[in-house]
Structure formats: structure tokens, C-alpha cells
Amino acid sequence: MRRLAALLLLCAAPLPAAAQETVPESAIIAWRYTVQPGDTFAAIARRMGVTMQALGAFNGVPSPYVIRIGQVLRRPDPVVESHRTLRVRRPALPPRPRPAPAHVREAGAPRLSWPTSGAVISRFGVPVKNQPNNGIDLVAFEGMNVTAAAPGKVLFAGTEPERFGQLILIDHGNGWVTAYAYLGKVTVKEGQSVKARQQIARIGRSGEAKKPTLHFELRRDNAPRDPYIYLPVRL
């Protein structure tokens, strides 16, 4: 298999034109759908006839909508229009895992290095544009190197259409994944193995970034962790 069942997948924009096929997508009408190899969150939402935001909120999957093969997604309730808008109620999903407390460093976490030399301008948990910040933001000069924070395998390298623009996800094993967003040029490919501090991209201003910035996240089993406490102290 191209990806192991334990590896995470990311919703992504459609593949470049050279890799696209013109096969019509089949609609998903079942209330539950199991993620298959090659699925993206964007395509599943489109086939269900719902927005990515609605599908993510209903299933407890936050942006950037990381999913895994074998994961079961529930189709959101339909909205019925009459004299007023009614919503069919269904049993609530169990709450998703909360991030670990900021002061706790978990055993088995990868040993991280700083992905770029930029200054931290936004910390974990501090809202940015009314959105929760699940990582940290570093400001840097456009074109500066972005490096892998730890050795691993590239799960995704491409465009995330909602917020993050050019995005890379790297799996470090045992459920740990790092994410690098707002990138400029991406220099690695999906499925590629990388070493710690190996160049993977260059600083850019894609997605919602208004200036050259790197958005960096650390997740375990898709639950965000504060990357700052896992990074070495800067002198």
C-alpha cells in the first residue's frame, strides 16, 4: 500500500491538471463513509454535497482537515427548508481529544529542531483572526530555507485551499506529525523520506499569509500540541 493505515492523510486541492482524470465523481448518499486510499477531505465533502467546514465541524476534524485511511466520516444532517429553517437532530459525536497541557512534554515525542530561523510572532493557543492557533507562526525573509524539524516521511506536499496555501505534512511515527504552512516553493514530494534539518521548502506567503511567514504545527493522533515546548531553547 502507498500509505499505511496508521498514516494520516490531508484534504488537498485537486491535483495538477497533468495528474487529473476526467472520471465523474460518484455522490456519497450514505450517512457514513469510510476513507479509502487516494481520498481527500475536499473530494469527500464535494461528493457528500456539503462544505469542508460543515463536514469538519460535524466530525470533529479541524482545519487543515487531516484524515486517515479507514477513518469513518459521518455526513452532516440535511437542512430542511419550509416556512422556517429546520435542522434534523442526531446524536452528538463524542468530544475530540483536547490538546495536552502546554507545560507537559510527552514521552516518545520526536526530538525537534527549529524549521526556520525566523522570529516567533504568534504562539500556540492565541487566537488569530478569530481562529484558534494550533501551532506557532514565524516571520522570516521570503526565500529562506524551511527544514524538516525531525526525520520522517512526507505525507502530503501540495496546496490546502482553505487557509494554509502550500503545505507539507511529515509523519514521524507513533502518531506524531509536523505541519509546515504558508510556504513558497516546495522541494519535497509525497512519500519521500527526509532527514532532520533537510530542506523541504522555502519561506513564502501563500494561503492567508499577508507577509513571508511559516506556520508550524505539531500533532499527535491529530490532536495539536504546543510545538514551542518541544523545540530547543534559542540562545
Looking at residue 27, which CATH number applies to its domain?
3.10.350.10
- Do 129 and 224 have their domain in common? yes
- Range with the poorest average pLDDT among 12-16, 126-130, 172-176: 12-16
Q: How many domains does the chain have?
A: 2
Q: Is residue 157 part of a domain?
A: yes
Q: Is residue 114 part of a domain?
A: no
User: Of the candidates 79, 97, 132, which is a domain's last residue?
Assistant: 79
* Residue of higher predicted confidence among 17 and 149: 149
What integer best gives the mean pLDDT of the chain?
80
Between CA 106 and CA 221 the distance in angstroms is 13
- Do 201 and 127 have their domain in common? yes
* Residue of higher predicted confidence among 45 and 86: 45
Q: Is residue 166 part of a domain?
A: yes
- Do 138 and 220 have their domain in common? yes
Q: Is residue 86 part of a domain?
A: no
Please tell me the predicted confidence (pLDDT) of residue 97. Answer: 53
Q: Is residue 112 part of a domain?
A: no
Between CA 211 and CA 142 the distance in angstroms is 8
What proportion of the chain, given as a percentage, has pLDDT over 70?
77
pLDDT tens per residue, range 92-148: 555 555 554 445 678 889 999 999 998 999 999 888 777 788 999 999 999 999 999
- Do 124 and 225 have their domain in common? yes
- Do 127 and 220 have their domain in common? yes
- Do 70 and 127 have their domain in common? no
How much is the pTM?
A: 0.61
Distances (CA, A) of 100 to 94, 132, 164, 218, 232: 18, 15, 23, 11, 19
Domain, as residue range, for 35: 8-79
Q: What is the CATH number of the domain that holds 131?
A: 2.70.70.10
Burial of 157: CB neighbours in 10 Å, binned 0-12, 13-18, 19+: buried
